[in-house]
Structures are given as C-alpha cells and as structure tokens.
Structure 1
Amino acid sequence: MIAVAASDDEWPALARDLADKVTHPGSRWHPVIASIPRHAFVPAWWARSDGGWQLRRGPLAEVYVNQTLVTRVGPHHANHGYPPGGPPVGRSTSSSTLPGLLLTMYRDAQLAEGLDIADVGTGSGYGAALLATRYGASHVTTMDVDPYLVEAAAVALDAGGLAPAAQVVDATGPLPGTYDRIVSTVSVRSIPPSWLAALRPGGRLVTSITGTWLVLTAWRTADGEIWGKVARHWAGFMPTRSGGDYPPEWADFADLATRDGDEVGAGRYPVLDIDDAWELSTMLALAAGVDVEHQYLPPGPDGAHTALMAHPDGSWARATAIGTEAPLVHQGGPRRLWDLLDGVRDDWLRMGMAPWLGAHALVRPDGAVVLAMGSWRATIPATP
C-alpha cells in the first residue's frame, strides 16, 4: 500500500478548494473531486529545477493544485526516490494529469451512467478514481503499458474502496474488451485501429494527437463509419510508448545549430519559439506529416535568438534573428521546413484563425484522420 503522510483532517479542505477551482458547486464532478485524496495517488513527484529534476514529497498543498505532476522520468518513478547517481535525466514518461483537463476530456467524451469506459493511460490512477467514483468501478477499465504504474494505482484504488479493472496493456495494440467510451490521456500519432475495433456501436472516443495540440473526439455512427470533430480547446499529452522509456531523441540539434544549409536566405516572419506557439506548431505538424521536432535558443548577449526544426525525412531548418528582424534561414534536406512554416503563417493570417480548431474529421479504418474546415484540408496519416 502507498504510504500517505497526511492526517485525515488535513486534505479534505484542500480537495474542496481544488474542486472549487476546476468546476463549480452545481456540477456533479464537484463532490467527486472533493472526495478523492489526490495525495494517495501522488505521494511523490518530479519537479523541474535549475539543476534538473527535483524529487518532491510535499507540502501537501502542492498536490492539490490544478497542475500536471510528473511522476516518472525515463524509467525512474518518483515513488522510488532518486536513482543512483542523483536526479534522473531524460523525458517525463508518466504523470498525474491536471484535474481540470481530465474533466474537460471527460466532457468531450460525453460520459454517462451505465456506459463502459476505457481509461487509456492509468498514470497515477487519480483519473481512474474520478471515473470509478462517478460512474461505478464495474464500468471502468484502466490500462497502462507500465506494470509498476498499474500495480501502484490498483493498490491506491483498492485502499480507497474502489476496484476498477486495472490491466497492463500496450494501447497501440489490442484492447482487453469493447467499450462505449475510450478516453485517452496519452497521445497517439494516429488512431490505433484496435481502438476502432473496441468501440461499440454509438461509442465515442477522445484523444490527442502526438506532435500537435489537437484534441479529437470521434464516434461510431449507425452505419459503422467513424466521424469526429476537433475540440476548440487544446491539450498536449505524453505520447504512447511500448517499452520502459521513449526511444532516444533522433534530432541532432547540436549539429543543426552550426550546419550550413543547402539553401540560405531571408525568412518573411520573425523567429519564435514554435513549440510554444500551439496554433502554428499544430498547423505546421499537419502540413509536414506530424513528426517535426523543435528547439529554441533564447536571445544571447547579442540579442540573437534561433529556432531549429527537423523532420525524420532529413529536412531541417535554422532561423536566426535579432528581435523581430527578418531572420537568416538555413535549410536542407528534401523539403524546406521554414518555407513550409511561412506558408502556414500565411494561411493563419489569411483565415484569421487556426483552421484545425473545430474542424470536422473522418477516421479511416487504418486510423488515418482527414480534417476539413471550409476549404482547408489536412490528413493525419496512419501510423506505419
């Protein structure tokens, strides 16, 4: 059982305050949030600091915030403390999603009493606790690729009097049943065909797309087709993984920071941190085939800042400028990524909006997603 270092009379006020922040007293979710001890599911977490990842075990008030708490970095779970040699190094691989976003995803899924729900991405188990409390444990199946995460969550759920089915599952493969709703708090590159097979007639799924900030809701119609719609809000989740950690990062930004381009010229728009520009970065990902990686180098002593981009097909770009001046752009590989970004920015300004927000969607049997908004079109290709 996960040890909880908090008195029984300390956390309820914090949980009620969290409920007040992420919902309202008239919502049926309010008493659910207020009744669940988040600290029982997140007794420890990793927080970013100047020296890298720092282990946190309190104060208790830091758990009851509307924030995502990273619980695993690489293969190192916060419950196990610091690994030999000091703080872990690598990407975050599991977390407890911010409660407000969980409720948003649940609303997108249009959950209801009596429906069987697949909770894809157990993480800390806090989301499974919310679902089991609201809709009944017998209607919830929570799953994760990490055996330790599933075991720890199951123990915490059992200690709270909840016992949803908890299974170790690679969600990109077959799911352990069929469901009326599939709610994913991990992102996928395209919709796994196994999800489509597991979705019952009239069923509904909600997920985010890896490499974008796009949240997609899709449903099975009476004739068996899968139609959908992109939410008008955005979110970014960790991508699905099949092993204990993500594959090594493939983009060599140290090399790209100094490499001469096959083509060198001036860009038409200022340099920006593309990853943080969520509307544009998503439009670029959709135009380039999703797999664009970014790095941003903030202004140095000379005031120059740099944006770098890379694609697995070998395309890359580096743009450097002082302030908002026109950047000097180096590009190489089979495509000109910065030119593609400039074209996306043209579309964004011409339309006065990001066309993917609220776009209609058709999910093909192989998991590819076709998006449409007015005359704008984009396709999220099926995962190879």
Structure 2
Amino acid sequence: MKRNLLAIAIPALLVAASANASIEVWNKDGNKVDFYGRVKAANHITDRGQKDEGDDTSARLGMSGQTQITDWLSGYGRWEYEAKSGKNSDNEVRYAFAGLNFGDFGSFDYGRNDGVLKAITAYTDVLPEFGGDAANNNWNVLSARTKAVATYRNNNFFGLNDDISFAVQYADNGDNSLTKDNIRGESREAWGTNVQWNIFDTGLTAGVGYAQSTSSDQRHNTWATGIKYDNYNLYLAANYFQSKLKNRYIDHKGHIADEKVKGIELVAQYGIELDVGRLTPSLAYVQHKLTSGYDGDNKAHYRSGSHSSPMAKYVSLGATYDLNKNFSAIVEYKFNLLDHKDIGAAMNTTNNRGHKKANTPGTKDVLGVGLIYQF
C-alpha cells in the first residue's frame, strides 16, 4: 500500500515540477490546488544585432491540482502562462494538460506538455540564464514543449523497481520540429519514448530516448542519451543527441538531401552554503553541428559552402545566488566560439549582414544578468 501511494504522489510532484515554492490555496477532501509564479528581470548585454540581445524580462503564472478519486486512482492537471515584456513581447501558454494516475500502473495525460525527449535533454538545461539548446529547438523531435501530445508515464516500473521509469508519447499533429510541413506552417504527427535509471543510491541517473515523425518520405527522427550526477552539492551532467531529417529541401533549385544535427552538452555545478543563502557556480560546454549529405553547390543554404557547420558552440561560466527559496540573482557569461563562416553565426544575427564579416554580431560573447522572484 505504501508503494502504491508513492506511485500516486510522484506524478503530482511532476505536475508542479517548476513550482519551487508554490502556494497551496486548497486542500480538502482529497482535492488540492497550488498556484505558483515567477518574475525574472534580466538583460543580455552584447553587440547590437545579436539574436536575443537586450531585455529578457518575463513573468509566469501557473496552477497545478489533483483530486483523489479512489485509493488507487487520482486526477491531475497543470496550466502555465508566460508573458514577456522585452522588445519581443510574445505571450505563450507553456503548459495546459490533464490526466489520470493509476498508481503502480502509471499515468496518462493529454494537452500541451514537454516532448518526451526533454526528460533526457533537461539534464543539461540547468544554466543560470542560457543553455537549453538541446531541449528547446525545432531540429529535435519531441524535445521542446509541444501541443496535442498524449503521454503515458510509469515511474516505478509497475511497482517492481522504484529506480526505473519510462514514458511513451504520441503527438497528434503537434510536433514542432523542422519538417517540410512545418516550413509550410503546419505540424506533424510524431511518437517517442524514453527510459531512465536511477543507479541505486549513487546519485547517478542515466537516460535514453528516441522520437520520430510519422512521415515516410520526409521522416525526421531524434535519439538522445544522457547521464547526470547529483549528490553532495555537486551536479555533473552530459548529453549527446543526433537528429536526422530525410530528404529535406535545402536550396531554391529544389535539390534535396538528408540533413543531420549532432550535439554534445556538458555541465558542472557546485553548491556552496553561505551564512545567507546558497551560491552555485556553473560551467558548461555546448556544441551542435549541422551536416548535409548534398554534394553540389550548397552556398544558397550555408553561404560558406561548408557541408558541416556548427549551429551552436560556446563555453558558459556563471553563477546563481539563492538568497532564499523565493529570491535569486543570476549572472552568466557566454564565450561564443562560433566562426563568422559558421551557420550558427547567421542564426544568431538579426540583420541582413549574415556571417560575411569577421565582426558579425553572431560571433560575439554575451553577458546575462538578472534577478528572479518566485513563489
């Protein structure tokens, strides 16, 4: 019975995963409702023309709830909204899903949720301000937040082993990865799965996941693997992923070829307890590279004529100072290692200069600073 109750409680914690200090507004007769929120006042200091430079202030508000139906069945839901106040003041419903938990038999939910691969790529998505390149993009299938996904999760392998968890997910025309239909403004059906293993009581967790679109002529697939260590104030994590898009159109002449994106991310952090609060220095290395199988003149797509070019490449050095559970200060310096001929330089540039000059903004370092209040 104790294990059964634990299996019911774990998905409830998952529902409020981002609510570090949520406010419980209702807890009666097996019904519980929490509210949580965050205000981040931040700025990215870099050369003009660099993508995402300037103000990065935003506010989030979310709600999570659960209701006990029987001693082995519960219902849950989550909603979260974000409003940005910078020059790109986009608003977004980040999460909106509801589901049922069946104890040792797992949970099932549907709505807008994280792609199933994000459970793995999130190992390295822990930097103070930047990072998340593998977890939030459109070249990995079912990694970013995705609409219209049905997800089954089991967090204790049907009650047999609390250290093994897995998930299976299907996106009903909801995946936002980079496919031909997505280029036309549509989305694709996709499915994916992951498995994670908490390696005994060592603090180590290893995970692997795979996802693909359902199209046969332009199939897009991604696999990712990762490992993390979280123990004694030390956090270490590594991720490797590979995405392949079959028969993608790559230039205005109609030439087609397979494209691949390969990436590696490494993170090291250490928490230091102070008289007031906690300081966590952070060090990371990120590299993602795009490769095309097309052998012709590819300058229309890469501009540099290269068939293998970094999309992201940098070293990050930063720190988070948690004054208490509600208030934090962050600072992070991104040492940009992109060359002006790399495709990532053009992706990081918001004007028409592209990456033709050595001083293009897309190759510049970035300093991120900010304050965060959360409840």
| Structure having greater relative contact order (Cα 8 Å, sep ≥ 6) | 2
> Does the TM-score normalized on the shorter chain lie above 0.5?
no
Q: Which structure has the highest strand share of the two?
A: 2
TM-score (norm: length of structure 2)? 0.27
